[in-house]
Amino acid sequence: MSRLPRTAAWLALTAGVITITSFFTHSGQTAAQIRLPPRATNQSVAMDLRVEEGVAQLHAFSLGAFTLDLSKLSFTAWPYGKLDAAERPVMVSLAAPVSSPNRGAAMLGTAITEYTMRVEFPKAPGPPGIYDIQLHTAEGFARADDGAPIPFGDWSRSGSQIWRIDVWWPPNPAQSLESVRKRLMGKELYGYGGVRLSCPPLFWIYDAHTPVRVRAVERDRGRVAELWTGTPVSGGNDMAPHFFANDPLRIVFDRPSAKPWGFGGGGPAAHEACPALELADWQVDVTFSLKPPPDSVPRDLGCGGLHVGMSREDLAWRCGFPHDIGDRATLDHQKLWSYDSAPPFSFAVTFEGDKISSFTTPRGLP
């Protein structure tokens, strides 16, 4: 499989997926099978990476019965965004497939075979950080009942034959945790573009002027979180780039006394430490500030009122940092900031130095 440009990679992500290479641990058999009505036929086997309560699960599914041979899956990686870098193998622990009935498809009268496999990322393929990871399949990794090989691909979407994700590993987990604790413990923080605090099944949204006091900073060792770029107010914008974080930070807050701008519910049972927000280390400085926003920032939520000459900092307070994977230093030097949302809310901003020189107008905003 050849590498895709960044835009195509995100299209591939919507089809499903996880990635990494060459080291597998198995418990029990390496192939599983389930029989379905003969009317179901295999076109290809699609895969999807999902995170449930801190556990990463690789799902493989297809129309019709099939078996999996995990020895014919392999994964390669390269530092994020460096498409010219040499690919390298990645260590991944992948458990044996377990049959997982697809109830949603059954309700629609469609017979789908689905397996789940727990995935762990024991070690970064190089220095800690974020890596593009790509899946490779050899012929015979999946076979139909009659032994015929089934190719990899998302049969529900055309052109989805490349499987890539981004995975992040923290630098020196214990030392970096202590550094964040010293900087944030007991402090009041202000969220760029607002902040969304979660204590499942509830969440509350506050504007950028509302201080939120840090009660604890933890590292969720052994857990994986699916994290999105941009302001957390959106709660996971599927149009924005996202990544899978190993051992993420959990910043726990006192519940603000201020009235929230919004709230909602849904999701699994509450974590014992909440309200909180999960972040990769590099996201802390593009999510929070120790200083309040200037008075020029409206005391509400929203991303309207953009104009030529507005400062980069003012834009960040109104809209959050852009939907891009990058630390504060990287984003502060970019000439273009993109805000990817469902139409008609997407827009882009161009800078000359530290001031907005032009921008596309989000049609859904004033």
Tens digits of per-residue pLDDT, 275-332? 999 999 999 999 999 999 999 899 888 888 889 999 999 999 999 999 999 999 999 9
80, two tokens: 């994020």
Residues contacting residue 112 through CB under 8 Å, at least 6 positions apart: 36, 40, 61, 62, 63, 102, 105, 106
The residue among 133, 166, 199 that closes a domain is 166
Do 42 and 139 lie in one domain? The reply is: yes
Asked if residue 364 belongs to a domain, the reply is: no
Do 36 and 108 lie in one domain? The reply is: yes
Helix (H), strand (E) at residue 58: strand 55-63
In eight-state DSSP terms, residue 258 is S
The residue among 166, 193, 215 that closes a domain is 166
- Whole-angstrom distance, CA of residue 125 vs CA of residue 145: 36
- Whole-angstrom distance, CA of residue 253 vs CA of residue 238: 26
Do 142 and 182 lie in one domain? The reply is: no
349, two tokens: 């901003």
- Whole-angstrom distance, CA of residue 185 vs CA of residue 179: 10
Asked if residue 293 belongs to a domain, the reply is: yes
Asked if residue 1 belongs to a domain, the reply is: no
Asked if residue 292 belongs to a domain, the reply is: yes
Q: What pLDDT, on the 0 to 100 scale, is given for residue 91?
A: 87
Mean pLDDT of 45-72: 90
161, two tokens: 């034959």
The CA angle 162-164-169, to the nearest 5 degrees, is 170
Asked if residue 286 belongs to a domain, the reply is: yes
Bigger pLDDT: 111 or 67? 67
Mean pLDDT of 19-42: 35
Do 115 and 215 lie in one domain? The reply is: no
Q: What pLDDT, on the 0 to 100 scale, is given for residue 110?
A: 60
Asked if residue 331 belongs to a domain, the reply is: yes
- Whole-angstrom distance, CA of residue 184 vs CA of residue 217: 8
155 confidence band (pLDDT: 50, 70, 90) = low
- Whole-angstrom distance, CA of residue 19 vs CA of residue 165: 6
Bigger pLDDT: 238 or 257? 257
Q: What pLDDT, on the 0 to 100 scale, is given for residue 233?
A: 86
Do 81 and 112 lie in one domain? The reply is: yes
Do 205 and 302 lie in one domain? The reply is: yes
Asked if residue 284 belongs to a domain, the reply is: yes
Q: Which residues of 130-143 are buried (b: 16+ CB within 10 A; e: fewer)?
A: bbbbbbbbeeebbb
Asked if residue 15 belongs to a domain, the reply is: yes
pLDDT in tens, 188-221: 999 999 999 998 888 999 999 999 999 999 999 9
Residue 308, number of CB atoms within 10 A of its CB: 11
Q: Is the pLDDT score of 266 beyond 70?
A: no
* Bond from prior residue into 201 cis (ω within 30 degrees of 0): yes
User: For the residues of 145-168, what is the DSSP string, one character each?
Assistant: TTS-B--B--TTSTT----EEEEE
Do 191 and 265 lie in one domain? The reply is: yes
pTM of the predicted model, to two decimals? 0.83
Mean pLDDT of 179-191: 97
- Whole-angstrom distance, CA of residue 68 vs CA of residue 57: 16
Do 195 and 286 lie in one domain? The reply is: yes
Q: What pLDDT, on the 0 to 100 scale, is given for residue 38?
A: 40
The fraction of the chain above a pLDDT of 70, given in percent, is 81
The β-bridge relationship of strands 195-199 and 188-191 is unpaired
6, two tokens: 């960044």
What are the CA-CA distances from residue 71 to residues 26, 75, 80 (Å)? 10, 11, 26
Do 237 and 327 lie in one domain? The reply is: yes
Do 162 and 177 lie in one domain? The reply is: no
Q: What pLDDT, on the 0 to 100 scale, is given for residue 239?
A: 81
Helix (H), strand (E) at residue 136: strand 130-137
Range of the domain at 212: 173-359
Do 329 and 205 lie in one domain? The reply is: yes
Domain count of the fold of the chain: 2
Average pLDDT, the chain: 82
Do 180 and 146 lie in one domain? The reply is: no
61 confidence band (pLDDT: 50, 70, 90) = confident
Q: What pLDDT, on the 0 to 100 scale, is given for residue 362?
A: 64
Q: What pLDDT, on the 0 to 100 scale, is given for residue 103?
A: 65
Distance of CA 354 to the CA centre of its chain: 29
39 confidence band (pLDDT: 50, 70, 90) = very low
- Whole-angstrom distance, CA of residue 52 vs CA of residue 209: 33
- Whole-angstrom distance, CA of residue 285 vs CA of residue 245: 16
The residue among 125, 149, 166 that closes a domain is 166
Helix (H), strand (E) at residue 337: strand 336-339
256 confidence band (pLDDT: 50, 70, 90) = very high
219, two tokens: 């590292």
- Whole-angstrom distance, CA of residue 237 vs CA of residue 278: 15
